């Protein structure tokens, strides 16, 4: 087997590569480690739950409607911490830069990263920089790692029968914004990336009620995230098609591109499984935050396996995990 682009796109093909990359014998520091394939690791230290995560970012184009590679780098790491209940504290930043990269663009990226950090009260505290010769790299690659502290750990495998599924906002915005921009569609401000640091929103939701499971639907989109949650939790999830929050402009662009909006990356959304009795309070908490204004209850958890969507016309269809993200290099 040789590595190809699909191995980095999320979904089932990426699982083949992860089977190789996770063959460490030393992969747990006493809490939750690499074996869980969750959004991060948990390391218990001195009575605290330290959440730790890392991510590398290769988005193309570097600047796009609604954001840039710097905002994704910071937001992605903050969101991985938040999905496990971690309040973000400190991030590292490693940049690999191609010779000839515009310093003005680098300044713009750094300013964008700083703005995202300021939204949640986190800081970049250490970093590293490498420069490669022209042609050895496509512009810039950014790696960010982050640590946070969680009062209560939330996992992606915690769904329970009776839970309600909530999406914190509209689905498919980021992937469709990237693809539309690449294809040269002049859509003005109709479709913009949702890239956002979500800790402030998640913090309100955690205070409002019992959240059993969370995941941000990045590579592979909503379809991949909900299937991972259901499979790891060993439950059946029923989604209501009419309840799914998808912008009309995103549906239209996705149809033109031949892409399922459920399978493309989001960079500012969370999928939650919450206790039924707390669902309305958590929904209200999400909607009270600017990044959760379009939050919606979209389904429920029952005994069984798989993910099924009840369609608008009264039928049912399986939501399958995608083979890979149809839009490469989105994060």
Rg (CA), the chain: 19
Question: 134 falls in which pLDDT band (50, 70, 90)?
Answer: very high
Closest CA to 271 of 79, 86, 119: 79
User: 128 in helix, strand or coil?
Assistant: strand
* 149, two tokens: 């502290």
Q: Are 52 and 86 in contact (CB under 8 A)?
A: no
Q: Which fold has domain 38-150?
A: 60s Ribosomal Protein L30; Chain: A; (3.30.1330)
User: Within 10 Å of residue 114's Cβ, how many Cβ atoms?
Assistant: 13
- Superfamily in which the 164-318 domain is placed by CATH: PurM-like C-terminal domain (3.90.650.10)
* 268, two tokens: 């500012």
Measured CA to CA, the distance from residue 146 to residue 78 in angstroms comes to 7
Q: Where are the domains of the chain?
A: 38-150, 164-318
The confidence score (pLDDT) of residue 122 equals: 98
The pTM assigned to this predicted structure is 0.92
The confidence score (pLDDT) of residue 21 equals: 60
Lowest mean pLDDT among 100-104, 159-163, 255-259, 324-328: 324-328
Question: 30 falls in which pLDDT band (50, 70, 90)?
Answer: confident
Check whether 313 has a pLDDT greater than 60: yes
Measured CA to CA, the distance from residue 165 to residue 172 in angstroms comes to 17
The confidence score (pLDDT) of residue 9 equals: 58
* Percentage of residues in the chain having pLDDT higher than 70: 92
**Average pLDDT, whole number, for the chain?**
91
Check whether 105 has a pLDDT greater than 70: yes
The confidence score (pLDDT) of residue 217 equals: 96
Q: Is it true that 38-150 and 164-318 share their CATH fold?
A: no
Check whether 188 has a pLDDT greater than 60: no
Question: 33 falls in which pLDDT band (50, 70, 90)?
Answer: confident
């Amino acid at each position: 087997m040789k590595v190809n682009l699909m191995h980095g796109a999320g979904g089932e093909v990426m699982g083949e590569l992860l089977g190789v990359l996770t063959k460490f014998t030393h992969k747990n520091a006493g809490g939750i480690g690499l074996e869980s394939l969750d959004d991060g690791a948990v390391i218990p230290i001195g009575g605290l739950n330290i959440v730790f995560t890392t991510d590398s970012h290769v988005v193309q184009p570097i600047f796009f409607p609604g954001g840039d590679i710097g905002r994704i780098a910071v937001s992605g790491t903050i969101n991985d911490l938040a999905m496990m209940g971690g309040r973000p504290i400190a991030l590292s930043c490693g940049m690999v830069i191609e010779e000839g990269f515009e310093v003005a663009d680098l300044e713009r990226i750094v300013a964008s990263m700083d703005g995202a950090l300021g939204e949640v009260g986190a800081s970049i505290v250490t970093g590293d920089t490498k420069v490669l010769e022209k042609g050895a790299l496509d512009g810039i690659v950014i790696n960010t790692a982050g640590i946070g502290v969680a009062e209560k750990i939330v996992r992606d495998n915690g769904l329970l029968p009776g839970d309600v599924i909530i999406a914190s906002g509209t689905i498919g915005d980021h992937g469709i914004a990237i693809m539309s921009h690449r294809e040269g569609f002049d859509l003005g401000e109709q479709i913009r990336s949702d890239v956002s640091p979500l800790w402030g929103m998640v913090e309100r939701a955690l205070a409002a009620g019992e959240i059993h499971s969370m995941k941000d639907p990045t590579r592979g989109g909503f379809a991949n995230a909900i299937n991972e949650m259901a499979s790891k939790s060993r439950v059946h999830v029923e989604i209501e098609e009419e309840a799914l929050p998808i912008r009309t402009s995103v549906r239209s662009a996705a149809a033109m591109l031949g892409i399922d909006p459920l399978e493309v990356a989001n960079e500012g959304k969370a999928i939650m499984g919450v206790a039924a009795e707390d669902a309305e309070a958590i929904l209200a908490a999400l909607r009270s935050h600017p990044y959760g204004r379009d939050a919606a209850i979209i389904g429920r958890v029952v005994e069984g396996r798989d993910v099924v969507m009840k369609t608008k016309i009264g039928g049912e269809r399986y939501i399958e995990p995608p083979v890979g993200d149809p839009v490469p290099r989105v994060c």
